[in-house]
Each structure stands twice: as C-alpha cells, then as structure tokens.
Structure 1
Amino acid sequence: MTIREQTQKIQRETLSQYACLSDHSRGREYSQEECPIRTCFARDRDRIIHCKSFRRLMHKTQVFLSPEGDHYRTRLTHTLEVNQIAKTLAVALRLNEELTEAIALGHDLGHTPFGHAGERALRDVCPHGFRHSEQSVRVVEKIENDGRGLNLTWEVRNGIGCHSYSNPSPEGKAKTWEGQIVYFADKIAYLNHDIDDALRGEILQEEDIPWEIKYSLGRTKSQRITTLIKSIIDSSKTQVMMDDQAARAFDQLNSFMYEAVYRNPVAKSEEGKAIGVVKSLYEYYVQHPQEMPQEYRRIIETSDVPRAVCDYISGMSDRFAVTTYERLYVPRSWGY
C-alpha cells in the first residue's frame, strides 16, 4: 500500500460517519494521477497554500484599512485563525482535517482589496455582480495557474463557495460537514478577532460589550471562542449546529459588532476613499483593457471586458491598488 492508501484506510476506520472520506471524493474537473503520499484533499490544501492569491492575502484588509501597527489582522491572519478553529472542530467531531484545512485556507482567496468596502464597490459597478465567495471559487477554477486553475476537488470548491451562505447563494449550505464547520469557524473567528482589533484601536471599550454576551459567551476572546466551539461539538449530532442559548448570544454579538464596529464612522472613515479607488480603477481598465497583464487580457477571449477587469481588481492587494491608482490619477512632479 502507498502512504496515501494507508491514510485512506485509517480515515475509513477512525472518522465519523458524517466525515467526507478522501477516497469517496467526487473528484476533479480534470482527472489526474493520484499522489502516492498525499490524499486528494491534502493535495488541494497544498495547492492553495502555494498559489499567488494566497500570498496576496497578507496585504489585504480585514476590517481596518491600512492600520498603523503590526498586530491588526489582515485577510491572511484571519484565514489562519479560521483554519485553526475549523481544525479544532474537525478533530473533535472526527471529520476530515485535510478537507477542512483546504476549505478554510481557500475560503477568502477571491476577496477584494479594502475588505467588504472593495466588495461593495465591485458589486456596484460590475454588470456580473460580485460576491467574494463566488470569486474565491472562480480564482481556483479560472484564474490561478495562468487561467488553468488549481483543479481542486469538488468538495473543496463546494465548501469555498458556500462559506458565507447567510447571504443569498444558489449553492446554499455546504454539502459536507467539513464545509459547514468552516462556515461557523469563519464567523467565530472574525467576530472575536474584530473585537480584539477594535479594542486595540480604541473603537470599543471593554465595558461597551453587552453584559448578556459576556454572561453567555465569556469575558475574553479565548472564553468566547471556547464556548462557541464547545456548543457546536456538543450539539452537532445529526447536523452541524449550536445550542439555542449559544446561537442567540452569537446572533446578539453579530448585531452588536455591526452597530459598534462595522458601521462605526471612525473605523470606516476611509472607506469612501477606498470605494472611490476601486471604482476609478474599474472605469479605467474597462476603457483600457490592453493595459492589464496578459493573464487577465486572456479572460476577455472567453468572457468579456467587465469580467476580466473585475477579476484583475479583486485580486489586487490594498497597497497595489493604491499604487496603481496613484500612477494613473495622481500627477507626478516634473523633472528633467
């Protein structure tokens, strides 16, 4: 037996009946010879970690635009925290860790520069619309690897596309338990680390957090995350879920964060400028598509200019978007 086959045998013998076994995968869009060492999901995880879109996450906004300080979250650190929480759930529920990791690490590959402000800007101007979960799937299917994509398994692509199914989505809930725990891990991660960043940025004070949330979930980030994780582990008997008390407190925390942080005029003071940058770049490249890199000009041949421009801009890091905007629109000093 190869190492991969030994791993698959261990999975069959030890994982839950609700786990997605790697040797039961629906497969890839294009068939490939199996790796003798890694399972198909481990191979997907590695492809995501080594792709360009993953590296760019380190320079993409999570909540605070270009924050001063080394300890604020970026889209990459958010992804790593989602992965850690999702893996904790996968181990406890005896689900497939490799599939869980691949979905968690790839879930935000299609996110725009400037966080959700950039997402709203592209949704406003692009006739195809824009949702970052759908774009993440597009990245791994159509954009990475010079347009050939990463050729990931169906289960990983499904989990990535369904990680934010609270928004209207034709896919709805992920078909695997691994995909569903990433959905919860994403929200557990961002609500709690955004509190941490908001406290650091003095957008929030500890006493601002409602007493009911502290009573139900805990006073610290660690306590809240532990409470929510334990609730999912204890409640997920035939479906992935939280108990009623934790779910109510979680919804209350979500509502509180939207009012106190996500719509806070201080925290969002630069969002108008960010939206202006994204929309201006979109307008420019729709009129000058020949100035985009070859890998995006190639998209025009199979789709259209707006689709190619949307793909190009959504892949930009914050600083590259700002630098490009300055090059195109800000006058430079004349010298001779």
Structure 2
Amino acid sequence: MTVCERIQNLEEQTLSPYAMLSRNSAGRETQEMECDLRTPYQRDRDRIIHCKAFRRLKHKTQVFLSPEGDHYRTRLTHTLEVAQIARTIARALQLNEDLTEAISLGHDLGHTPFGHAGERALDQIFPGGFRHYEQSVRVVERLEKNGKGLNLTKEVRDGILCHTTGTEALTMEGRIVRTADRIAYLNHDIDDAERAGVLTEGEIPERITSVLGHRKSKRIDTLVRSVIEGSQNGTVGMRPEVQAAFDLLRDFMFQSVYENPYAKGEERKVPHLIGALFDYLQKPENLPEDMRLIAEQDGCARAACDYIAGMTDHYAVELFKSIYVPASWKI
C-alpha cells in the first residue's frame, strides 16, 4: 500500500459523510499519473503554493494602498488567515482539510493590484467585465506555467470560483472557505483600520460586540464556534443571533472603513492608472513576450487585462511611471 492509499483509506474511515474524499475526485482536465505520496488535493495545494501568482500576493493591497508600516495585511497574509480559519472549521466538522486548504490558498490568485479599487477599474474597461474570482480560475487554468496552467482538480477550481457571491461551491469544503473568507477579512480589516487611525475598537456598536466579542481574537473564536455548531447535514450556517451580528459588522465596516473618504482617498487615482496601462498594452508590441501568445489567441484586451491583474501594486506604479512620466536627464 502506498502512502497516498493509506491517507485515502484514513479519509474514508474518519471523515464525515459530507466530506469530499480525494479518492472520489472528479479529476483534472488533463489526466496525469497519480502520486504515490500525496492525494490529488495535497498536490493541488502544493502547486498553488509554488506558483508565481501566489508569490505576487505578498505585494498586493488588501485594504489600505501602500501603507507605511510592516504590520498591515497584504493579499498574501489575508490568504493565510483564511486558510487557518477554514482548516480549523474543516477539522472540527471532519471535512477534507487538504481540499479546504487548497481552495483557501488559491481563492485570490487572480486579484488585481490596489485591492477592490483595481478590480472595479478593470471591470469598467474590460469588455464583458472583470471579477477576481473568475480571474483566479483563469490563472490556474490558463496563465500559470507559461500558459499550461496548474491542471488542478475540479473541486479546487470550483471552490475558487464560488468563494464569494453567487453560486455556492459543489463541496462543503468550498462553502466553508466562503464563510472563512468573510470571517477573516472583516476581523483583520478592523485590526488594520485601528492601526491606521480610521476607527477604534470602542466605535464598534455594542449590539455587535455584545454578541461577537470586544477583541479580534474573541470575535473570530465566536464566529468559528458558531459555524461549527450551526453547520449540519451538508449545509454551512451560524446561530441566528451570531449571523445577525455578523451582518451588522459587515454593514458597519462598509460605512466606517470600505467607503471612508479618508481611508480610501488614494483610490481615486487607481482608475486613471489602470486605464492608462490598459490603453498602452492594447498594442501587442507593448506586451511582454509571454503575454503575446495570449494576445494572439484571446485578443489584446484579454492579454492586457491578464497582465494588469497579475501585477503587484509597486510594479503597476513603476510601469506607469516608465511609460507616462518623463525621466530626469542624466549625463
């Protein structure tokens, strides 16, 4: 018996009837030889961790654009926090942790520079619109490994696609990641907003903190426990009073942080920067070599969109400067 077979036997013996067993995966678009050490979902997790798009997440905005300080979240640290919360819930519910982790680590691979401001800017100018969760799937299916993609399993790709609004994931693991994503970003965004001086803990309404808690760690603990207690028979949920407070917290964060003119002031510059780069990259000769095949196959607009969506904040700014800002004369 191989190591992989032993792991899969343990899955069958220990996981919930609602868990997705790796042995029952719908498989990959392109068939491959199975690994004797790792299950398909473990291989997917490893492929995501080692891909270029994952590494770039460390220099992409979560909420605050180019913050001065070492402790603000980036898209990478957000991703790791989602994975930690999702795995805790999955373990308690006896779901497949490897599948849960793979979806968590891949869910934001297609996110733009400058956070949701960059996403909105691309959505306005790219024909057909732009949604980061669809782009994340495009990254793993089409863009990574010089156009070959990562060839992930269907369940991981589905979980990535369905991690936000709209259709729910096919697996309970995917539905757990959607909830973990919201738990993570609402709570760590409070932490970053406090650090930035945008709000204080005391400003969070008592009708929220009396249910969820007065500290980040307590709120996360309350929410995670509520998901574990409220999820049953293949559905993911919370206790009604906790869900109500969680919804109020989301509304509070939109009013206080996500739509705060002071916190988001620099975002007004993003549409112009993204639009200018998009216009410039419409010409194939302005695209890097590895994006020209995309332009030939899918069109210049698609290639420009893919290229911009993959940029880090710093790279996008420096490319804009190199194109549109005159350099000083050097002798």
Partner amino acid, structure 1, of 2:3: I
Return the offset for 1:302. Answer: 1.9
Amino acid paired to 1:262:
Y
Q: How does 1:130-279 map to 2 (within 5 A)?
A: 130-165=130-165, 169=166, 172-238=167-233, 239-279=235-275
The alignment yields a C-alpha RMSD, in angstroms, of 0.7
Runs of 4+ more than 6 Å apart = none
Letter in 1 for 2:35: C
Corresponding residue for residue 60 of structure 1: 60
Alignment identity in percent?
58
Q: 8 Å contact 1:42–1:99 — kept in the other structure?
A: yes
Report the Cα distance in structure 1 between the residues aligned to 2:276 and 2:215, rounded to whole angstroms: 41
TM-superposed deviation, 1:73: 0.2
CA shift for structure 1 position 294: 1.9
The answer to which of 151-160 and 122-131 deviates more is 122-131
- Residue 92 of structure 2 is matched in structure 1 by 92
In 1, Cα distance between equivalents of 2:36 and 2:120: 44
1:300 positional shift:
1.7
* Structure 1 residue runs without a partner (length 5+): none
Give the C-alpha shift of residue 289 in structure 1: 2.4
1:13: Cα distance to partner? 0.3
| Distance in 1 of aligned mates of 2:253 and 2:327 | 41
Which stretch shows the higher mean deviation, 198-207 or 53-62?
198-207
1:304 is matched with 299
Match of 1:8 in 2: 8
Mean Cα deviation higher: 275-284 or 19-28? 275-284
Measured after TM superposition, the shift of residue 273 of structure 1 is 1.1
> Retained in 2: the 8 A contact 1:128–1:307?
no
Greater CA drift, 294-303 or 308-317: 294-303
Q: CA deviation at 1:275?
A: 2.2
Normalised to the residue count of structure 2, the TM-score between the two structures is 0.99
* Length, aligned pairs only: 330
Q: d(CA) in 2 for partners of 1:175 and 1:107?
A: 15
In structure 2, list runs of 5 or more residues that go unmatched.
Answer: none
What is the CA distance between 1:112 and its match in structure 2? 0.1
CA contact (8 A) 2:280 2:286 kept: no
DSSP 3-state at the match of 1:249: helix
Q: C-alpha displacement at 1:304, in angstroms?
A: 1.1
Give 2:24's aligned residue. Answer: 24
Q: Does the 8 Å CA contact 1:163/1:174 hold for their aligned counterparts?
A: yes
The two structures have a TM-score, normalised by structure 1, of 0.97
The answer to whether residue 315 in structure 2 is matched with residue 320 in structure 1 is yes
C-alpha deviations, 1:159-179, integer Å up to 9, x for none? 0000002xxx4xx00010000
1:284 positional shift:
0.9
Q: Which amino acid aligns with 1:271?
A: E
Distance (whole Å) between structure 2 residues aligned to residue 219 and residue 101 of structure 1:
28
